[in-house]
Amino acid sequence: MNSPVESAPHHIFADDSLSVAEQAEVLELGLEMKRNPIRKSLENRSVAILFDKTSTRTRFSFDVGVHQLGGHPIVVDSGKSQMGKKESYQDTGAVLSRFVDAVVWRTGAHQNLHDMAETATVPIVNALCDDFHPCQILADLLTIKEKKGDLRGVKAVYLGDGANNMANSYMLGFTTAGVDITIAAPEGFQPEQRFIDRAKLRADETGATLRVIGEPDVTGADVVITDTWVSMGMDADRDTTALRRFQVDEALMSNAAPDAVFMHCLPAYRGSEVTAGVIDGPRSVVFDEAENRLHAQKALLEWLFR
Ligand code: CP
Ligand code: NVA
């Protein structure tokens, strides 16, 4: 909105919307953001922050983050706007582009983002959809960078629902960073081949390894990760019996590297995908991970306006 857009905006729809070099730049900026949080990079800019699904971390971190960058955040729940009901995403994209400088959007179908992008002349940032959660992955990588130093060669294992948005984003975003990622999930919960193929392109570029296995094996892992067994929008009565053996408990953690950390994007369900002993225990970094949403997303926004 501030300046005329002369080229297509850089949308962040998935973890490979940033190249290998671009992701590294954003993560470096995230560390700098944490050291010097109050900035002017979004001065006189407004950001629409839209939610079709519930949120705690994403809502607060984007709202506070835009404020700390000197910008104006406008947080709207979909139920309170015309979008998607009385008005198409295409019309919404055209209208919002006349008012704001970026759109941050949590929605359901990934296609919705592309529909809005048909008309939007400002960047659209995916704040979670059914297929990806790229902002969370930037925060996770920032956390691993802080805890482990160099990202390349770090071994991460994600266990549980390997077919959800987080698993797809771990495959794409971690391979981009050069982190070796294993998805451990039972049959029926493994990632779709199209997402594996897409992540393999990044793995080939960075030399990261990408594996999908059917056993809850975390031998030698530096990072152990899980997520809810029932994501937003899924049937609450979904049969998750097959996932029980993939629960992250103390016994499983004892097979990981001695200094392994436990990560979870939150919200977490103690007693399902993780035991209270692990998530509330000494190896858990989940609240550092949550805090890093703020720093990583501020870095992403500042980078987009450079
Ligand atoms: N991890 C995450 O995106 O949390 P919220 O659903 O609370 O935003
Ligand atoms: N897979 C989870 C992530 C929540 C941040 C969901 O989509 O509900």
Q: Is 100 helix (H, G, I), strand (E, B) or coil?
A: coil
Per-residue confidence at 4, pLDDT binned at 50, 70, 90? very low
Angle (CA) 114-203-125 rounded to 5° is 25
Q: Please report which ligand is nearest the Cα atom of 227.
A: 2
**Considering only CA atoms, which of 171, 194, 173, 200 is closest in space to residue 184?**
171
Q: Which residues pair with 183 in a beta bridge?
A: 158, 212
- What the block records as the tokens of 212 is 């999908």
- Write down the pLDDT at residue 7: 77
Mean pLDDT value of segment 97-126:
98
Q: Which residue has the tokens 């407004």?
A: 46
**Considering only CA atoms, which of 168, 79, 69 is closest in space to residue 128?**
168
pLDDT at 238 over 60: yes
What H or E segment, with its residue span, contains residue 126? strand 124-126
- What the block records as the tokens of 156 is 């991460």
Same fold, 20-133+293-305 and 136-290: yes
Which atom of ligand 2 is closest in space to residue 166's alpha carbon? 1
User: Is residue 106 annotated as a catalytic residue, yes or no?
Assistant: yes
What's the whole-number average pLDDT of the chain?
A: 97
- Write down the pLDDT at residue 186: 98
Mean pLDDT value of segment 27-45:
98
Mean pLDDT value of segment 63-89:
94
Candidates 101, 129, 131, 265; catalytic one: 265
CA gap 124, 132 in Å, rounded: 14
**Ligand 2 pocket by Cβ (under 6 Å):** 128, 164-166, 227-228, 231-232, 265
Mean pLDDT value of segment 237-265:
98
Mean pLDDT value of segment 140-149:
98
> What is the phi/psi pair of residue 22, to 5°?
-65, -40
CA gap 52, 115 in Å, rounded: 15
pLDDT at 52 over 50: yes
Task: List residues forming the annotated binding site.
Answer: 55-58, 82, 106, 133-136, 165, 227, 231-232, 265-266, 293
- What the block records as the tokens of 304 is 């987009």
Candidates 11, 16, 52, 136; catalytic one: 136
Ordered by start, the domain boundaries in the chain are 20-133+293-305, 136-290
pLDDT at 182 over 70: yes
Which of 76-85, 112-121, 125-134 is predicted with the least confidence, judged by mean pLDDT?
A: 76-85
Q: Domain 136-290, what fold?
A: Rossmann fold (3.40.50)
Q: Please report which ligand is nearest the Cα atom of 136.
A: 1
Mean pLDDT value of segment 248-275:
98
Candidates 45, 106, 198, 295; catalytic one: 106
- Write down the pLDDT at residue 79: 83
User: Is residue 265 annotated as a catalytic residue, yes or no?
Assistant: yes
Q: pLDDT for 240-252, tens place per residue?
A: 999 999 999 999 9
CA gap 61, 297 in Å, rounded: 8
> What is the phi/psi pair of residue 266, to 5°?
70, 150
Protein residue with least CA distance to atom 8, ligand 2: 231
> What is the phi/psi pair of residue 246, to 5°?
-100, 10
- Write down the pLDDT at residue 1: 53
Which atom of ligand 2 is closest in space to residue 136's alpha carbon? 5
Q: pLDDT for 205-233, tens place per residue?
A: 999 999 999 999 999 999 999 999 999 99
- Write down the pLDDT at residue 78: 84
Instruction: Specify the CATH architecture of the domain 20-133+293-305.
Output: 3-Layer(aba) Sandwich (3.40)
Peptide bond preceding 258 in cis form (omega within 30 of 0): no
Q: Which residues pair with 50 in a beta bridge?
A: 76, 105
CA gap 82, 281 in Å, rounded: 45
- What the block records as the tokens of 24 is 């590294």
User: Is residue 244 annotated as a catalytic residue, yes or no?
Assistant: no
CB 169 within 8 A of CB 296: no
Mean pLDDT value of segment 68-83:
94
Could you give the residue ranges of the DSSP H alpha helices within 207-275?
250-253
